[in-house]
Structure 1
Amino acid sequence: MIRTFFCIVLLILGTRTASAETNLSTNDSTVSDKYTLDVGMFYANSDSNFIVTNPKTGGTFPVDFEDELLLAEEQYLPYFEFTFSFNQRHNIYIDWKSLDRKADTETVSQDFILEDIDGKDYLIETGAKLNTELNIDILRIGYGYDIWQGTHYAVGVSVGIHTMFIETAFKGTIGICVPDSTLTSLCSNAVATPEVIDDTLTAPLPDIGLYGSYEFYPGWTFDAHAQYFAIKYDDVDGSLIDIRLGVEAKICDNWSLKLAYNYYDVDVTIEKTRNVGNIEQRTFDYNINYSFTGPMFAVSYVF
């Protein structure tokens, strides 16, 4: 996923460079154009679960990745943010956040079936040893326009899209079930398999926002932004709240340090269904809550 982020950044840089080379005669219009790259860390608190099937009753229930499968709830994580500012008022931004976790569960506490992963069902039984991996990447791309500007301040609006990439992997004592029209016979022919991997991509989810900056002392700038979305489309139900307040301190011509306090919460439910005996059944649902409230620190370079 990080490769995708940097490929997009390089594409923007290459496009802008080519444009500049073909417009040397109008160089004055690009005097205020700049690129900004932030590399930083933040502290995340995560809560995630998925819906599984009871092999005895056919009913469904949630399994919590953190409580049941022992994935870490809190950890420090990296983030990258790239901004291209041009023609005085226009801004294109890209940022990427990642949450990669894995854990070993020595004894699973209950039987459950993972349904409809690559067209197959998988049985995990009580007492089984299981290694679980859950990787979540969030890529945000957007555009901002400065509505009000002054010598020391700017206020604008933004629109963008968030896309969430989810990869889940299970390794351990896992059986392959043979699908049937009745739930009671789904796992009558279980065999051993070493690994189950499921990849899920959410549709791009739109967001709108406000942002502003104010230089209150030479080299010191207060920044703030707020973004929001809530949407239900097809099999995706999602919402996002992103509020950040921070201070940027310029340490030399091109380098700055940024310290911010951020409230960030993404809540996405992805529903999977399939037809069994001409009846549509819900199978392997995700509910991902990816949030943190706390400090962020970044090093920023302008070029």
Structure 2
Amino acid sequence: MLTKPPKPCFFSYFFSLFTILATPLAWAQSENAAFNPVLDDTFTIRLGASFEQVDTQAAKFDPAQGVGADIDLEQLGLDDNDVSLFLNARWRFSERWHLGLSYYGTDRSGSRTVDREIRFGELVVPIDGVVNTSFSADIYVLDLGYSFFKTSRAEFGARFGVHLADLDVALSGRGNIGQSDVNLGTASADTLAPLPNIGLFGLYALTPKLAVSGMLGYFSLDYQEYDGEVTVASAALDYRLTDTFGLGLGYSLLDFNLDVDEDIFDEHYEFEFNGPVVYLSAGF
């Protein structure tokens, strides 16, 4: 099995981190309060868990020998469900402008006996060989939004953002050669790729405590060694327990497709995260 250094457990620090982020200035409110405080808050933080269904494909191949076949990593033993940190923060620095930060992520590993030949970079695993696989993705999103329409209980606008994708795939294999069980080696692919994103967002206060929000974005880019596209969408229902603290339930989608031209091997990454999120929120 592949072994990876342990990552810090975000959830063990969940409540202490939430308190540290939310407590400062929590009592500060706008002089001209909106119908719902979510439309007034200078700072908004959402921190919780994302329950994702994940679909992942990857390829690493020598383009001189043709286009490599995508490998479905869930068919190599990765779980197609994952639970990860959900983080979203927003700074409303003027009446109509805001700056946002979000995070998506997954980190999974698995093992499977394969019923077809697997090729990934220099690694070749024959039929009935065993493949150990790991995949991690950390997606950081920074976006700037402008509200074209804003009232005391609703706003609608456009956003421009950048997705920074930190991706890492590793495969190792074992197989029978003659009468011997042989270690076939390891192959990996990793990249740190920026992809822009543009889209629309909206928010509507149903009551003084309950608000619904949504966002949709897309962008395609072919620049230098990167050729990719990203689609994002989300919807959330936020309930304020007080003027400052609340809780919420939402749904998010991230669909990411990226080709990277390297010196020897080209790489292809394709994955989709989608599923519900639950979170605590704070606005001040």
**Equivalent residue number for residue 190 of structure 2:** 199
1:212 paired with 2:202, answer yes
User: Per the alignment, do residues 52 and 91 of structure 1 end up closer, same or farther by CA in structure 2, a change over 3 Å counting?
Assistant: closer
Q: Look up the SS of the partner of 1:66 in the other structure.
A: helix
CA contact (8 A) 2:226 2:261 kept: no
Amino acid at match of 1:169: A
Which residue, out of 268, 273, 279, partners 1:298? 279
Structure 1 residue 273 displacement after superposition? 4.5
Structure 1 residue 164 displacement after superposition? 1.2
**Equivalent residue number for residue 102 of structure 1:** 109
CA contact (8 A) 1:131 1:170 kept: yes
User: Per the alignment, do residues 124 and 73 of structure 1 end up closer, same or farther by CA in structure 2, a change over 3 Å counting?
Assistant: same
Amino acid at match of 2:99: I
Structure 1 residue 45 displacement after superposition? 2.5
Separation (CA, whole Å) in 2 of partners of 1:246 and 1:50 = 31
**Equivalent residue number for residue 24 of structure 1:** none
Structure 1 regions of 5+ residues with no counterpart? Answer: 4-16, 18-27, 116-120, 175-190, 276-282
Separation (CA, whole Å) in 2 of partners of 1:247 and 1:96 = 19
**Equivalent residue number for residue 278 of structure 1:** none
Which residue, out of 96, 100, 120, partners 1:114? 120
Structure 1 residue 252 displacement after superposition? 1.6
User: Per the alignment, do residues 108 and 245 of structure 1 end up closer, same or farther by CA in structure 2, a change over 3 Å counting?
Assistant: closer
Structure 1 residue 151 displacement after superposition? 1.6
Separation (CA, whole Å) in 1 of partners of 2:41 and 2:247 = 21
Separation (CA, whole Å) in 1 of partners of 2:214 and 2:267 = 35
Separation (CA, whole Å) in 1 of partners of 2:70 and 2:215 = 35
User: Per the alignment, do residues 194 and 142 of structure 1 end up closer, same or farther by CA in structure 2, a change over 3 Å counting?
Assistant: same
1:90 paired with 2:102, answer no
User: Per the alignment, do residues 91 and 48 of structure 1 end up closer, same or farther by CA in structure 2, a change over 3 Å counting?
Assistant: same
CA contact (8 A) 1:53 1:112 kept: no
Alignment of 1:51-200 (within 5 A): 51=59, 60-67=68-75, 69-105=76-112, 107-115=113-121, 121-173=122-174, 195-200=186-191
Amino acid at match of 2:73: F
CA contact (8 A) 1:33 1:86 kept: no
**Equivalent residue number for residue 36 of structure 2:** none
Q: Give TM-score, length-normalised by structure 1.
A: 0.69
Structure 2 regions of 5+ residues with no counterpart? Answer: 1-6, 10-23, 25-30, 32-39, 176-181
Separation (CA, whole Å) in 1 of partners of 2:235 and 2:196 = 22
Q: Give TM-score, length-normalised by structure 2.
A: 0.73
CA contact (8 A) 2:229 2:258 kept: no
Separation (CA, whole Å) in 2 of partners of 1:139 and 1:147 = 26
Amino acid at match of 2:271: N
Amino acid at match of 2:192: L
Separation (CA, whole Å) in 2 of partners of 1:298 and 1:157 = 24
**Equivalent residue number for residue 37 of structure 1:** 45
Amino acid at match of 1:249: Y
Amino acid at match of 1:159: F
**Equivalent residue number for residue 182 of structure 1:** none
Q: Look up the SS of the partner of 1:109 in the other structure.
A: coil
**Equivalent residue number for residue 256 of structure 2:** 267
Separation (CA, whole Å) in 2 of partners of 1:208 and 1:60 = 31
CA contact (8 A) 2:57 2:73 kept: yes
CA RMSD of superposed structures (Å): 3.4
Q: Look up the SS of the partner of 1:270 in the other structure.
A: strand
Structure 1 residue 77 displacement after superposition? 3.0
CA contact (8 A) 1:114 1:284 kept: no
Give the count of matched residue pairs.
Answer: 246
Separation (CA, whole Å) in 1 of partners of 2:140 and 2:211 = 26
**Equivalent residue number for residue 267 of structure 2:** 285
Structure 1 residue 76 displacement after superposition? 3.1
Structure 1 residue 65 displacement after superposition? 0.8
Fraction of identical pairs, as percent:
21
Structure 1 residue 141 displacement after superposition? 0.2
The higher-RCO structure (CA 8 Å, 6+ apart) is 2
Separation (CA, whole Å) in 1 of partners of 2:202 and 2:97 = 13
